[in-house]
Structure 1
Amino acid sequence: MDVISETIDRVDADTRNRQFSAKLHSIIATSLISHGVDLERINAFFMAGMPSKQSEYIQASSRSARSHAGMVFCVFRPNDLRERSQYQYFIQNHTFLNHLVDPVPINRLTSKVIERTVPGLLAGLLLCVHSQRFSSTIYNCKAYRDYCADMTTKGIDVRRELIGQLQRMVGVDWNYFPLVARQKADAVINSQFDYCEHLLQSSAGELKIKDERVLNPLTSFRDIEEGIPLMPATETGWIFASVETSFHQSQGK
């Protein structure tokens, strides 16, 4: 991962008044580059073979032309029957590309999805909607408590308003989903709101509502869970050691 990070940092730095001869002009990568690598300088992308899933193909080809015009070249393997079909029906496949993506096994009413997105939705409501009718922006816990107290004196139930808005945003009133799923989602919204509201009411007043100790909203699809270290087993450890040694030798270290 260190090598990957160093390469990304170098490509990013190449855009800052560096001589053309000193810039990195090509990158050879695995499918790892398909996710989260957003480099403006990638304008030509060569794919060695067609990914097995359309979603992977869309992700990979999207690495090119992030800020400028770009091209994607697919180099098909002629002896692969599937890729020969992809070549033969290339235009048709791209016409219906989005319809060929496999559906994900979760939806907006999944409990874990609601638990992770409600803090961000709540922060957005407070900062962008409810701040409009308050004397100042609700950017920290004290401002939230002052806002609730002010609305209470006017006979407005802020809690009820916020929960109702979250329910509509998640879609628990949408008949497209089964009643049982909507009822379960509604219970998760109420439970998650109670937790968030407790943090807003009990945390130090100067803490911003987006602080990781308060709402801590989701800011990336990669901060779902904390990473865990991967350690090689005894019988495979020599492989990793050999690869690491070969890499350092190639780098002259």
Structure 2
Amino acid sequence: MTLTMDVISETIDRVDADTRNRQFSAKLHSIIATSLISHGVDLERINAFFMAGMPSKQSEYIQASSRSARSHAGMVFCVFRPNDLRERSQYQYFIQNHTFLNHLVDPVPINRLTSKVIERTVPGLLAGLLLCVHSQRFSSTIYNCKAYRDYCADMTTKGIDVRRELIGQLQRMVGVDWNYFPLVARQKADAVINSQFDYCEHLLQSSAGELKIKDERVLNPLTSFRDIEEGIPLMPATETGWIFASVETSFHQSQGK
């Protein structure tokens, strides 16, 4: 049988459908999978996981081993290859490796000062500041647009510039005041923060008062690392040029051109 995405989807649906009411003999009891299962496959019925060898990266090991015990108690068995020096080391120092497992993960190759990173994280940082920090000095929680506008008006009467405070806090959170980063990169990041804040502030001031600040029509903070950006449509065709033309058209449409 050829392993296709349809087969994988059917298998996942079958495991999800296996409830306690289904007869034991009718349930799926084991799955043989590649590393594909470690990416976004959340099945609460998986409570025993056998790993054939050690992945090349600690992050992959964490991802794969966490497929077990999603909702209930579970066990993970690592079957190391005795002739592999690296895996023998993993076996000999198993406890030590797992004690410092999170510290052994390779750093993510993303520059925190890049424009796209700032654009996607500022809304979440701003929502966190309003809900957790600025709400403490206001009469009520700043959970919707009306509360934000009331808060700004109240602070203005007290001579406090909320905009300046929030931008300063965002700058420190992103790290534009760190001398570790080049001055040019920090200046560019500072400009992006100001621009992104102005956009978010406009939404908070102009949106309906009852809308929550985390609403997708307002700040819409990032809630998942998979939610990076909207994908472009890729459709198979006999003519490669037609595919590129379709992608280019979709890109210009998304940019309003």
Cα deviation code 1:57-81 (max 9, x no counterpart): 2211222233444332334567878
Q: In the alignment, which residue of structure 2 is the partner of 1:167?
A: 171
Gapped regions of structure 2 (runs ≥ 5):
none
Q: Equivalents in 2 of 1:248, 1:108: separation in Å?
A: 27
Tell me, yes or no, if the aligned pair for 1:43 and 1:68 is still in contact at 8 Å.
yes
Q: Equivalents in 1 of 2:72, 2:183: separation in Å?
A: 46
Tell me, yes or no, if the aligned pair for 2:234 and 2:243 is still in contact at 8 Å.
no
Q: Does the C-alpha gap of structure 1 residues 240 and 117 become closer, same or farther in structure 2, counting only changes over 3 Å?
A: closer
Tell me, yes or no, if the aligned pair for 2:53 and 2:80 is still in contact at 8 Å.
yes
Deviation (angstroms), 1:247: 34
Answering whether residue 252 of structure 2 is matched by residue 238 of structure 1, we say: no
Instruction: Provide the TM-score with structure 1 as the length reference.
Output: 0.75
Q: Does the C-alpha gap of structure 1 residues 31 and 252 become closer, same or farther in structure 2, counting only changes over 3 Å?
A: farther
SS of match in other structure, 1:120: helix
Cα deviation code 1:68-104 (max 9, x no counterpart): 4433233456787876776687677667655554332
Alignment root-mean-square deviation, CA: 8.4
Deviation (angstroms), 1:194: 0.9
Tell me, yes or no, if the aligned pair for 2:54 and 2:78 is still in contact at 8 Å.
yes
Q: Does the C-alpha gap of structure 1 residues 109 and 248 become closer, same or farther in structure 2, counting only changes over 3 Å?
A: closer
Q: In the alignment, which residue of structure 1 is the partner of 2:48?
A: 44
Deviation (angstroms), 1:152: 0.8
Tell me, yes or no, if the aligned pair for 1:232 and 1:240 is still in contact at 8 Å.
no
Q: Equivalents in 2 of 1:238, 1:139: separation in Å?
A: 47
SS of match in other structure, 1:7: helix
Q: Equivalents in 2 of 1:248, 1:196: separation in Å?
A: 24
Q: Equivalents in 2 of 1:26, 1:165: separation in Å?
A: 51
Tell me, yes or no, if the aligned pair for 2:233 and 2:247 is still in contact at 8 Å.
no
Q: Equivalents in 2 of 1:112, 1:252: separation in Å?
A: 18
2:116 to 112, 115, 119: 112
Tell me, yes or no, if the aligned pair for 1:40 and 1:68 is still in contact at 8 Å.
yes
Instruction: Provide the TM-score with structure 2 as the length reference.
Output: 0.74
Deviation (angstroms), 1:188: 1.8
Q: Does the C-alpha gap of structure 1 residues 56 and 214 become closer, same or farther in structure 2, counting only changes over 3 Å?
A: same
Q: Does the C-alpha gap of structure 1 residues 106 and 231 become closer, same or farther in structure 2, counting only changes over 3 Å?
A: same
Gapped regions of structure 1 (runs ≥ 5):
none
SS of match in other structure, 1:77: coil
Percent identical pairs in the alignment equals 100
Moved more, 5-14 or 188-197: 5-14
SS of match in other structure, 2:76: strand
Cα deviation code 1:20-46 (max 9, x no counterpart): 445432223332221223333322212
